Amino acid sequence: MVHPIDQAPRTTNTLTDTSILDASVEDVLGLMLGVPVTVADEAVVASAVPPITLTAVIGLAGSFSGAYTVLVTGPAAIKMAGCLLGMEIDDLDDSVYDGLGEIANMLAGAWKSRIPALNGTCFLSVPTVVTGTQYEVRKRSSAFRFTRSYKFDDHVFTVTIHGETP
């Protein structure tokens, strides 16, 4: 496929465009789950002390190679999954892991669908959810890493997109 030379920089810039990521997060949490969401100043980090953290990982392949991750605390994951399922959840269980993976999949899909160079040419993997304390999810090599955090209710989650520039 041949692209005009001036199209390549726009693709790179759109991958890290905060307005595109913000709009996709608002679409999923605000519209689909009915949870008001705002940009947060603080980020979630996996630490050695409770609460436990969970990271949902969506692999990206095709016209863009990388990963889309959602990092949350255990209580935030429980709240997100409860909103998705429309029910109260008290503890971390398979419904929370599956729900967080599905929400990450919806977030990644909403983000890539807003970028014309990726829509239809970038494919999402099945979600993987990592849980624990004091861990880091790494991709072997990345041309860029883009991180942004969001707040809903009293919870924060952090989205990271990293990969190779198309």
Closest CA to 53 of 128, 157, 161: 157
pLDDT at position 7: 38
Q: What is the CATH number of the domain that holds 57?
A: 3.40.1550.10
Between helices 74-85 and 94-113, what is the axis angle to 10°? 80
DSSP calls for 6-38: THHHHHHHHHT-HHHHHHHHIIIIIIIS----E
pLDDT at position 12: 53
Question: Cα–Cα distance between 42 and 121 in angstroms, integer?
Answer: 33
Residue 94 placed within a domain: yes
Q: How many angstroms from the chain centroid is the CA of residue 164? A: 17
Q: Provide the residue range defining the domain that includes 40.
A: 7-164
Q: Does residue 129 contact residue 38 with C-beta atoms inside 8 Å?
A: no
Q: Does residue 133 contact residue 48 with C-beta atoms inside 8 Å?
A: yes
Residue 71 placed within a domain: yes
- C-beta atoms surrounding 50 within 10 Å: 9
Residue 20 placed within a domain: yes
Question: Cα–Cα distance between 32 and 9 in angstroms, integer?
Answer: 32
Residue 1 placed within a domain: no
Q: What is the pTM of this model?
A: 0.88
Residue 2 placed within a domain: no
pLDDT at position 166: 59
pLDDT at position 8: 38
156 bridge partner residues: 151
Mean pLDDT by 10 residues, the chain (166 residues): 37 80 95 92 77 92 92 95 94 96 97 91 95 76 86 94 79
Residue 115: C-alpha distances to residues 23, 62, 110, 162 (Å): 12, 14, 9, 15
State the total domains in the chain.
1
pLDDT at position 48: 60
Residue 77 placed within a domain: yes
